[in-house]
Each structure stands twice: as C-alpha cells, then as structure tokens.
Amino acid sequence: MEDELLVHLCELARLRLTEAERASFAAKFAQVLAFVEEIKALQLDVEGVPPPVMKERQEAAEDAARESEPSPELPCDYRVGAIGDLEGWEDA
C-alpha cells in the first residue's frame, strides 16, 4: 500500500498512528484489498438469483419507566453534558 494513500486514509478516519501501528495497519489493509480483488475476479453470475429472504422482525418489549434505588457507584447528580461542554472539542 502506498504511504501517501495510507496517510490520506488515516486523515479521513482521524487516526493518529505510530510508525509501528502504521506498518501493521498497512499490512492488514493490503490483505483486505487483496481479498476484495479475489472476490472481484470470481465474477459470479447472479442473474436470476432471488435476494435473500429476511426473517420476520421480532417484536421488542415496550419501554417502561420504573423506580430503582440509586447505585452507590454513581453520583446521584450524574448527567450527560452537551458536546460543546467537552474541553478541547474544537480540536477534534
């Protein structure tokens, strides 16, 4: 895999890799690309083959609020903040 392409992919995925991680990722990604090429080379004839049949969807139980005792591991005033509340979010 070309180093320029790898750097571009890492930028798109917002990955910061060390040199060792970059080498490992490049090798694994090259394997994936080689496998895709093998599949392309098969040129399977799927003309007239019906699409797979999906199983019927299972019904989920209704959501219901229930009272529970607060967990001793979590503070009682725990809340999830807005994305803008995070420090350094501008750098992401």
Rounded distance between C-alpha atoms, residue 33 and residue 27, angstroms: 10
pLDDT in single tens digits along all 92 residues of the chain? 578 888 898 899 898 888 888 889 889 988 998 999 998 888 888 888 888 877 777 777 788 877 777 777 766 665 666 666 666 555 54
| The CATH number, out of the four listed (1.20.120, 1.10.20, 1.20.144, 1.25.40), of the domain defined by the range 1-44 | 1.10.20
The pTM (predicted TM-score) of the whole model is: 0.43
* Annotated domain spans of the chain: 1-44
Name the residue with tokens 């895709």: 36
Percentages helix, strand, coil for the chain (3-state, rounded to 5) are: 45, 0, 55
**Which positions ≥6 away from 29 have C-beta within 8 Å?**
1, 6, 9
> And the tokens for 7?
């750097």
Rounded distance between C-alpha atoms, residue 33 and residue 3, angstroms: 15
